[in-house]
Copies of this chain bind each other. A is one copy, B any other.
Amino acid sequence: MRIGILGTGTVGQIIGAKLVSLGHDVVLGTRDVAKLMEHKETRMGQTQSFAEWHKQNSQVKLGTFAQSASHGEILFNCTAGAGSLEALRMAGEANLKGKILIDIANPLDFSRGMPPSLTVSNTDSLGEQIQRAFPAVKVVKTLNTVNANVMVNPRQVADGDHHIFVCGNDAAAKAQVTDILKNWFGWRHVLDLGDIKAARAIEMYLPLWVGLFMAQGTPLFNIKIVS
């Protein structure tokens, strides 16, 4: 399938590499490809520059946000939450229209130190902001509650016996994303929390995720709902 991934950070890289390994045709979208390839510094949480990563993952194509969105039959929002709306505007409404957007972004703000705060929360969420700004897009929020390595390989944690959440306004889009989570990435337990308003709940879980990460010293964990 033709996939557009907006964002070239760790999440975009790991999802992109996973999707090409499954045989998909992936274009990673960024603001300025030349600048991205020139950028020599490693970003937070990364061990190599983008260019170094791309040398080892050359099957992942590169393009602008607009080229990536135009290419994809399904889109992933892997931008940093604070830049998501701008990236989507640069992608262009015509390139997004009618498509499923799997929104993984978190509106985290580390500028005030730890614990991070959220740039939007409580009575609104990034997922809702995106859905309001692009009403013709089928936004499905998911995967934002786990580390990128767990997103695409959930079986490495407790043999996959833990939960991921989906929410969104379009039932058919949620069903298709649930299939993707299960059949492409290997998720065993996908829990539907309702319409896009539920993005508030799963984005507001992030401060706890960060607390658990700090308490445990590894990002390779998740929560399992037990009853």
**A interface residues with partner B (beta carbon < 8 Å):** 112, 115, 117-118, 121-123, 157-158, 161-162, 165, 191-194, 197-198, 200-202, 204-205, 207-208, 210-212, 214-216, 218, 220-227
Contacts and interface: CB of A to CB of B under 8 A. Distances in A.
Contacts of A215: 191-194
Nearest to A216: B227
Each complex incorporates copies of this chain amounting to 2
B115 A201 contact: yes
Most B C-beta atoms less than 10 A away, residue of A165, A222, A227: A227
Contacts of A221: 225-227
Contacts of A200: 115, 207
B122 A197 contact: no
Contacts of A165: 211
Given A221-B226, A226-B224, A115 B211 contact: no
Contacts of A210: 201
A160 to B, nearest CB: 10
A117 B212 CA distance: 23
Contacts of A220: 227
A225 B216 contact: yes
Given A194-B211, A204-B204, 18 more contacts: A112-B123, A115-B201, A121-B122, A121-B204, A162-B226, A165-B211, A191-B212, A193-B212, A194-B215, A200-B207, A201-B208, A201-B211, A204-B207, A216-B225, A222-B225, A223-B223, A223-B224, A224-B226
Nearest to A202: B208
Nearest to A167: B211
A127 to B, nearest CB: 13
A162 B225 CA distance: 9
